[in-house]
Structure 1
Amino acid sequence: MHRNEYRQRRKRLLGMMPENSIAILPTSPAHPRNRDVEFPFRPESTFHYLTGFDEPEAVAVMIPDREEGEFLMFCRDRDAHAERWDGQRLGLKGVRRRHGVEQSFDIESIDRHLPDLIDGRSCIFYTIGNHPALDRRMIEWISALRIRSRMQPPADIVPVDRLVDEMRLRKSETEMDAMREAARISARAHERAMRICRPGMNECEIEAELMHEFMRSGCRSPAYPSIVAGGANACVLHYVSNDCVLEDGGLLLIDAGAEYRYYAADITRTFPVNGKFSPTQRDLYALVLAAQEAAIAAVAPKNTLEDVHQAAVETLVDGLTGMGLIKGRRNDILKNHRYARFYMHRTGHWLGMDVHDVGDYRVKGEWRGLAPGMVTTVEPGLYFAPDERNIPDELRGIGIRIEDDVLVNEDGGEVLTAAAAKSIEEIEAITGTGSAS
C-alpha cells in the first residue's frame, strides 16, 4: 500500500472529526502463546488502515487543525539490545520518515504526554472494550483531569469505529487489487488441496498443503484458522481440529483463505475425497451450487445482503421440498425458517482486512443497499448432522458449503475467487490427479 493511501485515509478521518476533538487508536498487543513464546504479531486492522505501521506497542493520535501536527504516534524507540533479540525497530525518527508521522513520542512516556493532549478536548474518539489495559489508563487520565482545577476533561467519548468502519466498507482500487491477489492465491491453494487429496490422508495433511501455497505466494498467514472437515466434521460450522482421517466415499469441506498485505480471502469448496461424487452427494451439491449462483446473481447495486440471502434460501427450499426433506407451502417454510435445521447461517458477510469485516448491515433499521466497492462473501450450504432425525440414512453426516468472494461493481458483482474450481465436472477432473508441485 502506497504511503499516500494512508495519508488520504487520515485526511478523510480528520475531515469528519468535529473541532476540538481527538482520535486515539491503539494497535494490538503482543499475545503470549505459552512460556517465553508469543503468537505471531498482527497489527489491529483499523490502526493499520490509517497508519501502515506494523510494530506492536503503539498508539496513533489524530487531532484536526493542530499546529504542531495532526498525526502523532507513540511507539517504541530504537534499542540496540532489544533489537538484537527481536529485530529492528523503526524508532521515533523512522516512524516520522516512513509513515508521515508529524510528532512522535516514546511509548514509555504516554502517561506524561497523552493526558495533556486530551486536556480541553470536547470529544475523544476512542473505542472502549478492545484494549482493556489502555482502557484502564484512559479512565485514570480522565479521572485525574477532573480533579485538577486547571484541566477540563472531555465531555464525550465516542467509538472511533463509527467513523472508520464506514470508510473501510467501500474499498479503494488499491484495496481491490490486494483482495484480488489474496483470492488468486487462495484459489490456487484450494486446487492444490483437491489435487493432492486421497482417501487415508489426515485432514492436517491437507491443511499443510494450503499453508504451503499461501506462504510460497507471499502470505505469512491464513486470514483465519482453516477448516478442513472430512465427512460429518463438515456439519460443525467452525470445525478447526483438522485431525481426522479422510474416508473413501466421504466429502471434504475446506473453508480457507489467505491474508495478503492484511487483506483477506474467504473460500469454501466441498469435494469427494476419492474424486467421484455419489449420486446423493451429486444431487445435494448441485442444489447448493444452484443456490449460490442465484445468490451471486443478486449481488448488485441497491440490492441488499438480505436479497442475496433470500435468493439462496428460496432455491434451497425449492430443492429440499422437491426431495421430500421439507413438507409444506413454500411461503410458510420461508416465513417460519423451517429450512434452518439444514441451513442455519446467513449467506454472506462483509470481507476486507478482517474476514468478518466492519460495516453495518442495516442503516436506521433497514437493510443497507449494496454499493460499488463493497465486498461480500456468498456461501450457502446444507448440513445433515449424523444425529438428525427423520432423514434418509445416506444423508447423515453430509455437509456441503460453497463460498466465493464478490466485489460489488457498477454492473453487478465481480467474483474475485472465480479461479477456484467448483463445478462438478471441474472438481471430478482435478481431485486426486497428482501430487502438489
Structure 2
Amino acid sequence: MNTHEEQPLEERVNNRSQPPQSEAFTSFMASSWAPDTTELPERAKVADFAAARRAKISAQFPGERLVIPAGPLKVRSNDTDYRFRPHSAFAHQTGLGTDHEPDAVLVFEPVDEGTGDDGSNHEVTLYFTPLAGRDTAKFYADPRYGEFWIGPRPTLAAVEAEYGVRTKDLAELEVAVTKNAGNAALGGVQIRLVREVDLNVDALVDTSRYNTGVDLEQADAQDALLTEALSAARLVKDEVEIENLSRSVENTIAGFENVVRAIPRAVAHHRGERVIEGAFFAKAREEGNDLGYDTIAACGNNATILHWIRNNGAVEEGKLMLVDAGVEDDTLYTADVTRTLPISGKFTEVQAKVYQAVLDAADAAFEVAVPGNKFRDVHAAAMKVLAERLESWGLLPVSAEVSLTDDGGQHRRWMPHGTSHHLGLDVHDCAQAKRELYLDGIIEPGMVFTIEPGLYFKEEDLAIPEEYRGIGVRIEDDVLITEEGNRNLSAALPRTVEGVEEWMDSLKS
C-alpha cells in the first residue's frame, strides 16, 4: 500500500526547483538583504501621450466600465514561458513596453461626465502584481514571478510615477470589475471587455454577466465594439509613436547591413537562409527587443512563397534573396521592411527588369500616398503599373485595362497580396478597425503604413517564359504621412538597382 501523499499534477512541473521547506531555511532566506534604495523613476515622455489616448477612448464609452487585459504569460514548454509581450491595446493605452506586466489589467471606471482623469469620463486604474518583498517566500520560491528567478518587478508607486496612471494590487481586481455590474437598463454598470486576451478575466466578466442577467450574446457584440475602437485609435500615430517607429526602422536598416555581410557565409552553408535569418535576428536582439514577426529569408523560388518562414534552403550564386524583416523596439513598435538582393552582388538583365517594374510600382504608390486620398488608392496605383508592365512583356492573357477591372484581375496571379497595411504596435496594425476607416479610409497626417508591391514568378508556372521562373521580388518601405505628403522612414536603405548593387559592394569589406 502506498503511504505517500499523491502530489497534485499542477505542482509537478516545478519538481526541478523545489526549495527546502525547513523553518531554518525560510528564516535565513528572509534575512541579510540590502535595503531597496531605488528612487521613484521620472515621468516617462509617453505618459502624457498615453493619457491623451485614454481620454479619446473614454469619450466614446461614457458611463461604461472598460476592461483591457495585458494577458498572461504563455507556456513555451512545460515550465518555461515565452518572453512576455502584452496585448497591443493594453500597451497603447498604458505606454508600457516589453516585459510589463503579465496578468495586469487596465480598468476604466465611469464617473460623472468630465470629472475623470484629465477631464475625461473615467478614472483609470492599472491592476498588477507588485514587487514581492525579500522577506516573503515568493521572492525565492516562485520561479515564474519571484525576483530571485526573474529579476525585480516594479512597485505600484514606481509604475504610477513613471507612467502617470493610478495603480492597485491585482488582488483587488475582482471587486473592481464586478461591483455594481449588470444590465444598464436596470441601473447596473455595463462592462465592455477586450476578449480572448486573458481567459481568467473573460471568466470573471462572463460570470458576473450571467449572475446579473446580462444578455451574453448582446454583451459579446458590445465587447467587439470596444476592440474595434481600440484598434481604430491607432490609425493616426502621435509624436512618441512616430519616434518609436523611426527607431525601429533605423535598427532594421542596421540588421539588413548584417544580412549583406553574412551572404558569403550563407552561400557556403547548406542552410544558408538560416544564416541570413540569424544575422538579422542577432542585430534585432542587440539593438531592439525582438522581431516584429518571423523573418522571411527566401532565396530563389522560395522568394515566390509569400510567407516563407522555414528558411531552410540554400543560398546560391546567381539567384535573388528576398528578405522581409523588422526589428520590434522595446516599446513594442515594429518596422516592416523588405529588400530583394542579388546574391552575386549584381542583378542579371531579367532580374533587373522585374526589379525595376516593382520599384516603379512602389514609386507610383508613393505618389498617391498623400493626405486626402483614400488608402485603397495606394494599392490601385501600384497595380496599374504592374499590369501595364506585365502586358508589355506579353504575359497577360488580356489587356492591362481589362485585367484592372473588377471582372478581370489576371495580373494578380503574380501579385496576390495587398500593397499596403498600417504599421505600429502590430506589424499589421489596426486590423480590427472598420472597413470605412481602413481600406476606404482617407489618408491623414500621422498615419504610418507600408508600401510593398511585388512580382512572384514560380518555377512551376507554365504561363510565363522560362527566363522569369524562380524570380520573386518585393520592395517594402515604411511611410509616414505628413502634412506636405509623405516621408519614407526606410529611405536610408538603398532601393534602386544601382543603389542596391553599390551598397552591397560597399559592405564587402
- State the partner residue of 1:23: 66
CA–CA distance in structure 2, aligned partners of residues 396 and 103 of structure 1: 59
Alignment match of 1:141 (pick from 202, 208, 212): 208
CA contact (8 A) 1:197 1:431 kept: no
Q: RCO (CA 8 Å, sep 6+): is it higher in 1 or 2? A: 1
- State the partner residue of 1:308: 378
- State the partner residue of 2:415: 343
2:322 matches 1:258: no
Unpaired runs of 5+ residues, structure 1, are 148-152
Identity of aligned residues (%): 31
Q: Which one is further off, 134-143 or 58-67? A: 58-67
**Which amino acid in the other structure matches residue 174 of structure 2?**
D
- State the partner residue of 1:150: none
1:29-44 equivalent positions in 2, closer than 5 A: 29-44=72-87
Alignment match of 1:187 (pick from 230, 238, 253): 253
CA contact (8 A) 2:159 2:167 kept: no
**Which amino acid in the other structure matches residue 284 of structure 2?**
F
**Which amino acid in the other structure matches residue 116 of structure 1?**
K
* Structure 1 residue matching 2:230: 3-state secondary structure: helix
Alignment match of 2:129 (pick from 73, 76, 83): 76
CA–CA distance in structure 2, aligned partners of residues 401 and 89 of structure 1: 43
CA contact (8 A) 1:291 1:311 kept: yes
CA contact (8 A) 1:21 1:122 kept: yes
CA gap 1:355/1:94 in 2 versus in 1, 3 angstroms = same
* Structure 2 residue matching 1:247: 3-state secondary structure: coil
* Structure 2 residue matching 1:422: 3-state secondary structure: coil
**Which amino acid in the other structure matches residue 288 of structure 1?**
V
CA–CA distance in structure 1, aligned partners of residues 250 and 131 of structure 2: 38
2:298 matches 1:200: no
Root-mean-square deviation over aligned CA pairs:
2.4
CA–CA distance in structure 2, aligned partners of residues 144 and 386 of structure 1: 60
Unpaired runs of 5+ residues, structure 2, are 1-44, 118-122, 140-145
Q: Which one is further off, 130-139 or 77-86? A: 130-139
CA contact (8 A) 2:70 2:90 kept: yes
Displacement of 1:200 after TM fit?
A: 3.0
Alignment match of 1:124 (pick from 184, 191, 206): 191
Displacement of 1:127 after TM fit?
A: 2.6
**Which amino acid in the other structure matches residue 201 of structure 2?**
L
Displacement of 1:46 after TM fit?
A: 1.0
CA–CA distance in structure 1, aligned partners of residues 367 and 391 of structure 2: 23
CA contact (8 A) 1:194 1:432 kept: no
Displacement of 1:366 after TM fit?
A: 7.6
* Structure 2 residue matching 1:232: 3-state secondary structure: helix
CA–CA distance in structure 2, aligned partners of residues 94 and 320 of structure 1: 59
* Structure 1 residue matching 2:449: 3-state secondary structure: strand
- State the partner residue of 2:237: 171
CA gap 1:358/1:121 in 2 versus in 1, 3 angstroms = farther
Q: Once the two structures are superposed, what CA deviation does each residue of 1:193-235 show, in whole Å capped at 9, x if it has no partner?
A: 1243233341111122212322332x02011111111111111
- State the partner residue of 2:390: 320
**Which amino acid in the other structure matches residue 223 of structure 2?**
V
2:346 matches 1:276: yes
- State the partner residue of 2:313: 244
* Structure 2 residue matching 1:362: 3-state secondary structure: coil
Displacement of 1:301 after TM fit?
A: 0.8
Give the length in aligned residue pairs: 428
CA contact (8 A) 1:215 1:221 kept: yes
Displacement of 1:364 after TM fit?
A: 8.1
* Structure 1 residue matching 2:396: 3-state secondary structure: coil
CA contact (8 A) 2:232 2:437 kept: no
CA–CA distance in structure 2, aligned partners of residues 101 and 245 of structure 1: 51
2:361 matches 1:291: yes
CA–CA distance in structure 2, aligned partners of residues 52 and 410 of structure 1: 26
CA contact (8 A) 2:332 2:425 kept: yes
CA–CA distance in structure 1, aligned partners of residues 256 and 425 of structure 2: 21
CA–CA distance in structure 2, aligned partners of residues 366 and 12 of structure 1: 22
**Which amino acid in the other structure matches residue 100 of structure 1?**
G
TM-score of the pair, normalised by structure 2 = 0.79
* Structure 2 residue matching 1:363: 3-state secondary structure: coil
CA contact (8 A) 1:68 1:103 kept: no
Larger Rg: 2
CA–CA distance in structure 2, aligned partners of residues 270 and 366 of structure 1: 27
CA–CA distance in structure 2, aligned partners of residues 63 and 14 of structure 1: 9
TM-score of the pair, normalised by structure 1 = 0.91
CA contact (8 A) 1:295 1:378 kept: yes
Alignment match of 1:157 (pick from 222, 227, 241): 222
Q: Which one is further off, 356-365 or 389-398? A: 356-365
- State the partner residue of 1:111: 174
CA gap 1:77/1:341 in 2 versus in 1, 3 angstroms = same
Q: Once the two structures are superposed, what CA deviation does each residue of 1:381-433 show, in whole Å capped at 9, x if it has no partner?
A: 00111211232222222111000011111121111110111111121123265
Q: Once the two structures are superposed, what CA deviation does each residue of 1:125-150 show, in whole Å capped at 9, x if it has no partner?
A: 22334444422221112112339xxx
2:452 matches 1:384: no
CA gap 1:365/1:164 in 2 versus in 1, 3 angstroms = closer
- State the partner residue of 1:415: 488
CA–CA distance in structure 2, aligned partners of residues 163 and 390 of structure 1: 45
2:102 matches 1:56: yes
CA–CA distance in structure 1, aligned partners of residues 439 and 419 of structure 2: 18
Displacement of 1:434 after TM fit?
A: 4.2
Q: Once the two structures are superposed, what CA deviation does each residue of 1:162-194 show, in whole Å capped at 9, x if it has no partner?
A: 332232110111211111111111122223312
CA–CA distance in structure 2, aligned partners of residues 422 and 364 of structure 1: 30
Displacement of 1:347 after TM fit?
A: 0.4
**Which amino acid in the other structure matches residue 192 of structure 1?**
N
Q: Once the two structures are superposed, what CA deviation does each residue of 1:12-50 show, in whole Å capped at 9, x if it has no partner?
A: 2223322x2111000022111112211111111110111
